[in-house]
Structure formats: structure tokens, C-alpha cells
Amino acid sequence: MFQGSLVALVTPFKDGQVDYKKLKELVEFHIKNGTQGIVPCGTTGESATLSFEEHERIVSDVVSTVAGRIQVLAGAGSNNTSEALRLAKHAKKVGADGVLLITPYYNKPTPEGLYRHYKFIAEEVDIPIVMYNVPSRTGISILPETVARLSEIKNIVGIKEASGSIDQTTQILQLCNITVLSGDDSLTLPIMSVGGKGVISVVANIVPADTAALTRFCLEGNFDAARKCHHKLFPLCKGMFIETNPIPVKTAMKLLGRINGEMRLPLCEMTREHENQLINTLKNYGLMT
């Protein structure tokens, strides 16, 4: 259901408040440049710092701005099952195409607890669900066997896989037929080469057309062209993680004149050393002179 390049959209702020005007401009930018889907209110969107009211308005505004032209996969995860349920219900109400649910962080649930968390939400809200496995953020990784169990639930349709392990993706796809989307830009090609269907991308905030081209070539089976895209994108992908995401991507977007780069505490501006490194990466890619 979800495939290609879906952007993990940044949340623009202005003087401490969500900049909803800029948010709509960013959505239009992605539609114009070939992005297949918008993912608001994820990790890159600083969801952990958003109030419920902000989160829900961002999702509503993105859905209304997209107006059915591409897909919207709304971030709706939490370490509190009832909070995740609230956000998933809202996404369904306003017309999102699906929800992205991170594995509950901090709690460190058992495999059975993870299974029950996703099963409960799936049974309460009739909306396509994509799980999100990112152990570097959550402290826990969902087992391939648990993914396979959950794939039997009709509206659990995919997983964003950001464990950094191609073995994990391979094991999932050997056990079930669920859609796997890369959660690591630098691993999009390897993950798609073993059967993944696309990426939920940070770097697409910077170069949406190039990211979309990579996934398109992979889906077409043109891996010679895909490798060329991968090697071009690779330094930029790595540059987006020289500090905690989304600090580098928001800084890059500021340098390119797309947003003001404002973040919410506890995130803050990059060190000067890393910013110079990022500038060189953008110059080498041809984005800055």
C-alpha cells in the first residue's frame, strides 16, 4: 500500500510556535518534486515536543493541503497505548491514509506486550498501520517473529525498519509478506534489494526528487541506475546524522533558505565544527556554491 519515497517531514517553528503557513509550503514543495507520501509528526517532526493540539492540527493541515494528491502516513506513536490510540483515531477522523506507530519507548515491553499494544490499536481503529522499529531511539527492537504475528492482523500493513540490520529485514520478509520501508536513508538500496518497498526518508527533506528516483529505480528493478543514485546520495544521507536527527536536516534546510531552522528544546543548534562539515557536504552535492 505504501511504497516509494515518503518524507519524514520536519515541523517548522517560528518564535516557539508551529509555523502552519510554512508547513503547507513544505507539503507543496514535496508534491511538486515527486515525493510519494508525507509523514508528519514523526521523530524528524519533533513529535516528542508537540502538544496533542499541535500534533492533531499538523496532521489535519497536512491532510487538507495534500487533498488526496499523494499519501499521508501520520505519526501517531507513543509509549502510552491509550495516547497512541487517541492520535490514531484522530488521523482516521481527518482522512489520513495510515498511521505510523513507533514501538513503545522507555517502557521496554516484552514481545507479548508489543504484540498486544499493536493488536489493541489495530482492533480499535480501522486504519492501515505501519509499525516503526528504531531501537536506537526506543531501547527495544521488535522481533521478526512478532512482526510476522502482527502481519496476520488485516490493517497492520507494514513496518518502518530502522534497526540498521539487513538481517532483520530479510528475516521479516522470510516469515511474512508485510511491506518493509527503510528507516535509514543510507540503507534504502540494500533494504529494497532484499524486498523492501521504499523509504521513510530524512534526506528527502533536502533532495526529494533524487530520493524518489532511487526508490523508483529499485521498484522497477533497475539496480544499476539505483546504485548510481545511492552513491550520489550516500554522503548527504550520512551528513543528516552527524548530530541527532533532526538537527542536521533542519540546519541544512536553513542554509538552503527553506526554513529558519528553529528547533524546540532539548534540541539545539549544531556545533560550529559540525555545521562547517555539513556545509561542505551540501557544497559537494551541488546544493550550495
Q: Is 262 left (phi over 0), alpha (psi -120 to 50) or beta?
A: beta
Q: Which of 92, 160, 197, 250 is catalytic?
A: 160
Q: At what angle do helices 247-255 and 272-285 cross, to 10 degrees?
A: 60
32 is catalytic: no
Among the options 118, 132, 197, 250, which is catalytic?
132
Is there a contact between 105 and 95 (Cβ–Cβ < 8 Å)?
Answer: no
Q: Write the DSSP assignment of 81-134 as a string of letters.
A: HHHHHHHHHHHHHHT-SEEEEEPPTTT---HHHHHHHHHHHHHH--S-EEEEE-
Q: At what angle do helices 52-66 and 81-94 cross, to 10 degrees?
A: 30
Q: Is 118 a catalytic residue?
A: no
Give CA–CA dist 148/195, Å, rounded: 15
Helix (H) or strand (E) holding 193: helix 188-193
Which residues are tagged catalytic?
132, 160
